[in-house]
Chains A and B, each alone.
Chain A
């Protein structure tokens, strides 16, 4: 199967800080990839580059940003527009053939129909995040980049989100998401990328990471900590 997302040698620097260095991976349709790592690892920078909101200093990303749906960590929405108006505006900017039909479909899929005419500023954090994800999906993109999608959701909302995202993947959408919740990566991602100090340290199935540290048992979070400690030890020794 051909790659639907190809990231090659991507680098990004903020002044003296190397946020990303030579990051590369590819994704196939229907794949769910979790990007995990400590704070400041470069997860948000990587997803922003994939979405086209940041320009890399080196490397390349395909496809073009217009074919990547993006839900940033902080919802990028207009508080003084209603849910439907936000969706319709971006549907028109994304040049969706029938914007109103797309809005109706999104409201149904995200179960926000009853809130269609509510100003976004009056929504709860969870509902705002659902609109944020709905905006990412409005143009039916083949790739979806979700930055900490469940960060502001309660357990029930989180469960509903992942059910929805898994459904999209089942229909062929490639989904890459960043998270601090390693259990979420273990439950929903077929593949994890461990990012630290802007570099890819691991790229494989969660089970492969667990296999590298049997003492963690089935606890992926523990395995990640042991993995990062081991890598830090190697770095110090060298």
Chain B
């Protein structure tokens, strides 16, 4: 095996373009995927036209909330470009300078104040179906956040007014006369007056007024509580069932490294075994000079070794920018080693089945990339049955197991690393057996 390995390393050393491609290509792809995963979407660049009159306010009793506060809330959620007119906004959307335009119409205050209609915003956007979907999704979220902030201001104002009605005193802010009696104080005042009244119709009438005042005060207190909860009726409290949550940037590192490991190991193993056949050396080797399992082990060692070295270097390199736990280094090595072995075994099987280098490389590439993407599809993103199918496909190929093993090794996430390592070992043996069968059946 030593001489075959030296031979392959020598051939690899003389194929500098191939080596460069094998290292640079997966690293670039891995970094792009890693960046895409680790960066949350940027704020959409949106043109905003505020057609309301400057300083226009929404009146709540005697208090006023500036409508421009709403625009401010909206601006904080977007990369806002203020434009003076609707036409300017449309032109910016057409030219692609902004992804959409939001028009706050002049009658929004009238409608919101009427209590009969909701205020309406106009949203204008362009682009293909994917862009439209993205813009709609991002703007819906931004508008929801702005609506929430605005409604909180209205609630605060309304709650203050209710409080003042209940407690009384000098509440000229809501247009009341000075030293106004509070609704909460009325039942006690009336009880004192009733006690001095002789029995009769007047006394009974005053009792009914006192009962009403007490009931009204209680309900106003309740209204205040309801007002506080109606803006955000349900809060989310998150609980992770098991394991530890992996921060997105660290998970992106694991995804990027696993993709590099996969590409190098699978492509190199597939190409190396197919090259033996293409150069007609395979049958010379297998006529008693080398056993099939030794040949497969050598190709796995070559491809897996190269993949392992690049992936470990990448992980260590990324560790300079993202805080990684180096005390888990032994687990990194175990996860990368078994991942490399499983990927290389898959490559060997592909190379043995494909018979020539170009076909083997193409097949390895066509198989690897979709498998990597499938393994990243989160539960709930697709229909239940489709997710189960994706899960079954991901189970019989090494990418997902390698990703889980490396995530567990680097980030201590669940599931535990042991199961993934055993899974990878079983896949390595299964794909090696498939490769061996493909090589021997042609003899």
* B contact residues around A55 at 8 Å (CB): 443
Instruction: Give the chain B neighbours of A64 by CB distance below 8 A.
Output: 288
A172 in the interface, Cβ–Cβ < 8 Å?
Answer: no
Interface string of A129-153 (1 = CB under 8 A from B): 0000001000000000000000000
Q: Mark B268-288, 1 if CB is under 8 A from A, else 0.
A: 000000000001111111111
Interface string of A75-86 (1 = CB under 8 A from B): 111111100010
The majority secondary structure among interface residues of chain A is loop
Do B281 and A76 touch (CB < 8 A)?
A: yes
Residues of chain B within 8 A of A190, CB atoms compared: none
Instruction: Tell yes or no: B321 within 8 A of A by CB.
Output: no
Check: B11 CB closer than 8 A to any chain A CB.
Answer: yes
A52 touches which of B15, B288, B290 (Cβ 8 Å): B288
Does the CB pair A79–B279 fall under 8 Å?
Answer: yes
What's the Cα separation between A78 and B443 when bound, in Å?
A: 21
Chain B residue numbers with a CB within 8 Å of A72 are: 280, 283-284
Docked pose: A76 CA to B285 CA in angstroms: 9
Interface residues of B in 3-35 (CB under 8 A from A): 3-4, 7, 10-11, 14-15
Q: Is A89 an interface residue (CB 8 A)?
A: yes
Q: What are the residues of chain B within 8 A of A93 when measuring CB–CB?
A: 3-4, 285, 289-290
Question: By the criterion CB–CB under 8 Å, are A76 and B290 in contact?
Answer: no
A77 to B282, CA, bound (A): 10
A90 contacts partner chain B, Cβ-Cβ < 8 Å: yes
**Contact A81 B7, beta carbon cutoff 8 Å:** yes
The reply to whether B286 and A80 form a contact with Cβ atoms under 8 Å apart is no
Docked complex Cα distance between A3 and B189 (Å): 133
Given contacts A53-B443, A78-B7, contact A94 B283 (CB under 8 A): no
The majority secondary structure among interface residues of chain B is helix
A212–B279 Cα distance when bound, in Å, is 43
Give CA–CA (A85, B281) in the complex, Å.
14
**Interface flags, A174-211, vs B, CB<8A=1, else 0:** 00000000000000000000000000000000000000
Contact B288 A77, beta carbon cutoff 8 Å: no
In chain A, residues 33-63, which have Cβ atoms closer than 8 Å to a Cβ of chain B? 48, 51-55
Taking a contact as CB atoms closer than 8 A, the residue among B11, B283, B289, B290 that contacts A78 in the complex is B11
Interface string of A7-24 (1 = CB under 8 A from B): 000000000000000000
**Contact residues in A for B288 (Cβ distance below 8 Å):** 52, 64-66
Q: Is A54's CB under 8 angstroms from B11's CB?
A: no
Q: How many angstroms from the CA of A135 to the CA of B279 in the assembled complex?
A: 14
**Is A109 located at the chain interface by the 8 A CB criterion?**
no
Nearest opposing residue in chain B for A67, CB measure: B288
Is B289 within 8 A of A76, CB to CB?
Answer: no
Interface residues of A in 110-132 (CB under 8 A from B): 119
The digit string for B210-227, where 1 denotes a CB below 8 A from any CB of A, is 000000000000000000
Complex Cα spacing A93 to B284, Å: 10
Which residues from A are CB-within-8-Å of B4?
89, 93
Hey, which chain B residues are within 8 Å of A51, CB to CB? Answer: 287
Query: Which of A70, A79, A80, A92 lies in contact with B3, CB distance below 8 A?
Result: A92
A35 to B30, CA, bound (A): 57
Shortest CB distance A55–B (Å): 5
Asked, given contacts A81-B10, A81-B11, A92-B3, whether A75 binds B280 with beta carbons under 8 Å apart, the answer is yes
Q: Which residues of B contact A92 (CB under 8 A)?
A: 3
Known: A93-B3, A93-B4. 14 other contacts (CB 8 A): A52-B287, A53-B287, A64-B288, A65-B288, A72-B280, A76-B284, A77-B280, A78-B279, A80-B10, A80-B14, A89-B3, A89-B7, A90-B284, A92-B3
Write 6 A-B pairs (CB below 8 A) sorted by A numbering. A65-B288, A70-B284, A76-B281, A80-B15, A81-B10, A119-B14
